[in-house]
């Protein structure tokens, strides 16, 4: 794996925002940045005029994006690369060579729809390497990418105390340490369906809550010892995981979610919680594949 971050650009406001975020992340890590654009025209055989125009457009896009991210970051090493082939597999191949792949997300809200974008979802499903999706501008006419400063914001990670989350926690603790941020670790759980009234609800929480909190603390303890500089807040709220994570994401610098490495009949399975967070989260979302 090379010591660089890769970001996919396509000229959209979302990808420009992603490039700015990736540039700042590269500086945090002390590595270079690679800007890539995927060209769907084949690399051999006769090239139609429209493809030549697309090649010229891609070259200008990369040059402009490199100039933009370098302007206020003189110490950042920026490289550009034009890829041939369908975007998702081409970007997934680039993810295997980079510390991190960063993509723009349309971030369509609850009213306008739920699609993050076919390329983003397909790329996440095609790679087991970390991918960060960065939300685009809130307003359509905001074409310039504005760096996400993350001032006074936490890193949020959703975990499952019933399964190993080492890859997820390693990434989350490392990001919190680099940023000097508090890490909020959430495990969200549900009460038995037989709980019907307020008294039964309170009793169930009293009986189950302390054990769940202890299990979360035990899972996090080795990582606290490995990253002593990171201030950790442990949260075990009752409720749906996606809903609770989205609530925590409202003031987050970065949200880290996992997806289990398993194949569904129609392709890779991202998972309902990660899917929901990607659809609606206002903060950048890191998706970490793990066993």
Q: What pLDDT digit, counting tens, does each position of 68-92 carry? A: 999 989 899 999 999 887 888 899 9
Residue 117 pLDDT: 60
pLDDT of 55 over the 80 cut = no
Greater pLDDT, 5 or 206: 5
**Alpha carbon distance, N-terminus to C-terminus of the chain:** 20
Of the two residues 203 and 129, the one the predictor is more confident about is: 129
Percent of the chain residues past pLDDT 70, beyond the cut: 79
Place of tokens 């490039």: 19
Check whether 121 has a pLDDT greater than 90: no
131: helix, strand or coil: strand
Q: What is the dihedral of CA 3, 180, 256, 110, to 10 degrees?
A: -120
Asked if CATH classification 3.20.20.100 holds for the domain at 4-135, the reply, yes or no, is no
- More reliable by pLDDT, 4 or 267: 4
pLDDT in the model for residue 142? 47
Give tens-digit pLDDT for 187-205: 998 876 666 677 767 777 7
Q: So where are the chain's domains?
A: 4-135, 154-290
- Confidence label for 184 from pLDDT (cuts 50, 70 and 90): very high
The vertex-208 CA angle with 206 and 211, nearest 5°, equals 110
pLDDT of residue 208: 86
Given this chain, do its domains 4-135 and 154-290 carry the same CATH topology?
A: yes
CATH for the stretch 154-290: 3.40.50.12370
- Tell whether the model's pLDDT for residue 258 goes beyond 80: yes
């Amino acid at each position: 794996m090379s010591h660089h971050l890769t970001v996919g650009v396509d000229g959209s406001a979302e990808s420009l925002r992603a490039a700015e975020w990736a540039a700042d992340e590269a500086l945090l890590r002390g590595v270079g940045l690679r800007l890539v654009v995927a060209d769907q025209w084949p690399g051999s055989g006769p090239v139609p005029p429209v493809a030549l125009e697309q090649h010229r457009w891609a070259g200008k896009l990369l040059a402009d994006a490199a100039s933009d991210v370098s302007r206020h970051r003189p110490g950042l090493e920026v490289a550009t690369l034009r890829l041939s082939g369908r975007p998702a597999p081409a970007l997934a191949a680039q993810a295997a060579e980079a510390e991190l792949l960063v993509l723009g997300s349309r971030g369509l809200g609850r009213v306008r729809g739920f699609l993050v974008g076919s390329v983003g979802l397909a790329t996440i499903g095609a790679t087991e390497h970390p991918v960060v999706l960065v939300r685009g501008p809130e307003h359509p006419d905001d074409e310039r990418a504005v760096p996400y400063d993350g001032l006074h914001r936490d890193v949020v990670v959703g975990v499952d105390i019933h399964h190993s989350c080492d890859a997820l926690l390693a990434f989350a603790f490392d990001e919190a340490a680099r940023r000097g941020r508090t890490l909020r670790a959430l495990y969200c759980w549900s009460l038995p369906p037989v709980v019907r009234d307020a008294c039964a609800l309170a009793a169930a929480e009293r009986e189950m809550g302390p054990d769940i909190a202890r299990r979360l603390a035990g899972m996090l303890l080795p990582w606290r010892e490995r990253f002593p500089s990171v201030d950790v807040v442990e949260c075990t709220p009752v409720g749906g995981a996606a809903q609770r994570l989205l609530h925590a994401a409202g003031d987050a610098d970065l949200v880290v979610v996992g997806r289990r490495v398993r194949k569904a009949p129609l392709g890779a399975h991202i998972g309902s919680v990660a899917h929901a967070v990607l659809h609606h989260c206002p903060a950048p979302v890191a998706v970490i594949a793990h066993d």
